């Protein structure tokens, strides 16, 4: 498994899971129980993991989804050029 993001924010983790699930990408949250045991003080962030086969597609999808969030001022061309492996996925 490959770490896609690391966060203490349960809303962000839930959002990323939903975005990836919509695209058919399975993911797992690692360190969920450990972060609860630390009293949720943020000492142990949770890690969202994907398979190596899904990593580049998941990063691309997540980048596009973040770009489309309200308040993001990047243009489509600027955002596409900032995504690693964009040309490979775009085809």
Question: What pLDDT score was predicted for residue 38?
Answer: 65
Which of 1, 5, 9 shows the shortest CA–CA distance to 62? Answer: 5
Which of 76, 68, 58 shows the shortest CA–CA distance to 22? Answer: 58
**Can you give the three-state secondary structure of 24-39, one letter per residue?**
CCCCEEECHHHHHHCC
What are the pLDDT digits (tens) for 39-69?
Answer: 656 678 899 999 999 999 999 999 999 999 9
| In the chain, domain spans | 2-90
Q: Which residue has the higher pLDDT, 63 or 72?
A: 63
Question: For 19-43, what is the mean pLDDT?
Answer: 85
Query: In this structure, what are the phi and psi dihedrals at residue 27, rounded to the nearest 5 degrees?
Result: -145, 160
Output the six-digit token pair for 90: 């775009």
Its CATH architecture, for the domain 2-90, is 2-Layer Sandwich (3.30)
Output the six-digit token pair for 64: 């596009």
């Amino acid at each position: 498994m490959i770490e896609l993001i690391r966060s203490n924010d349960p809303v962000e983790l839930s959002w990323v899971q939903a975005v990836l699930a919509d695209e058919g990408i399975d993911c797992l949250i690692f360190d969920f129980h450990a972060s609860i045991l630390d009293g949720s003080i943020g000492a142990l962030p949770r890690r969202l993991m994907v398979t190596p086969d899904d990593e580049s597609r998941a990063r691309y999808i997540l980048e596009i989804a973040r770009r489309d969030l309200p308040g993001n001022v990047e243009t489509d061309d600027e955002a596409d050029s900032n995504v690693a492996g964009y040309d490979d996925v775009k085809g």
